Structure 1
Amino acid sequence: MSTMDTTTSTNATAVADIYAAFGRGDVPAILDTLSEDVAWETWPDNFAQRAQVPHLLPRRGPAQAAEFFTVISSWTVLDFAVLDIVGGGRQVVRFRHYCDTAKHIAASSGEDTTAGHPPQ
């Protein structure tokens, strides 16, 4: 196996392990894998960040990444599935299905997302 293949495999495995920990609710395991200079939700021209959507704010380092998990800890996630993880060199992409994303974005901006829904 070449160095590139090993790196690709290692990076994709690390991402898979992080999502597996997320599925178990094991936030400490996720934070333990992050480097001190990890960039969390950092991408250019992000409308949600300009709108100050709390769970999509840019963060740096494990301590700030932990803030993301604090923000989402009150959510009720109905379905979360990683469909595939694809790696190439330093780049790893994950494809996911995440139910209720639009609802959470709307709620974080103050919109009443319970209107028309009976209490459970």
Structure 2
Amino acid sequence: MATENNRLGTANLERVQSIYAAFGSGDVEGVLAALAPDVVWSNAGPADLAYFGVRTGREQAAEVFAILGQEFDIAHFAPVEFFAAGERVAVLLEMRATIRSTGRSFTEDLVHVWTFGSDGLVTRLQDIQDSAGVAAALRP
């Protein structure tokens, strides 16, 4: 069982690294292609701000990237450390950005937890961050 868990963890780690490489090069379609059709994309935060919420399916997950492109001027977004075990990969990240509509900047550490199905597609992403700090930057 441990060997199978290690093999899955390694394969899923490589998949997550490919997802971040696609995002870093602006290939949103490449990111979306790695998602299961019924993916659950969760970004906890205030319900009155469009960036936050739970989205289901690739089309709704794509909304996150549309909001990022419209609202966020990302100066730095980088994975720092990866942890893989079986169907899950957790990633520690750093982000610095300015919100275009408010001119406010923020810096944060965040965690992404990716869960994969047996077909190798992402079934769930949990985006865990300082939602209060991001919300403060987003609010007029």
Say whether residues 1:27 and 2:41 are aligned partners: no
Q: Which residue of 2 aligns with 1:68?
A: 64
Structure exhibiting the larger radius of gyration computed from Cα positions: 1
Cα deviation for residue 54 of structure 1 reads 1.6
AA matched with 2:86: G
Q: Would you tell me which structure has more helix in proportion to its own residues? A: 1
The unaligned stretches of length 5 or more in structure 2 are 97-105, 108-131
Q: Which residue of 2 aligns with 1:58?
A: 54
Q: Once superposed, what is the RMSD of the aligned Cα atoms?
A: 2.0
Cα deviation for residue 103 of structure 1 reads 6.2
Q: Which residue of 2 aligns with 1:106?
A: 136
Say whether residues 1:38 and 2:39 are aligned partners: yes
Q: Could you tell me how far apart the structure 1 residues matched to 2:19 and 2:10 are?
A: 14
Say whether residues 1:3 and 2:24 are aligned partners: no
The unaligned stretches of length 5 or more in structure 1 are 112-120
Alignment CA distance shift 1:9-1:78 (3 Å) = same
SS of the residue corresponding to residue 16 of structure 1 reads: helix
Q: Would you tell me which structure has more strand in proportion to its own residues? A: 2
AA matched with 2:31: I
- Residue by residue over 1:8-47, the C-alpha shift from the partner in whole angstroms, topping out at 9 and shown as x without a partner, is 11111111111111111110000011001211016xxx4x
SS of the residue corresponding to residue 35 of structure 1 reads: strand
SS of the residue corresponding to residue 41 of structure 1 reads: strand
Number of residues paired by the alignment? 105
* TM superposition score normalised by structure 2: 0.67
Moved over 3 A (4+): 101-104
Q: Could you tell me how far apart the structure 2 residues matched to 1:10 and 1:63 are?
A: 25
Q: Which residue of 1 aligns with 2:80?
A: 83
Fraction of identical pairs, as percent: 30
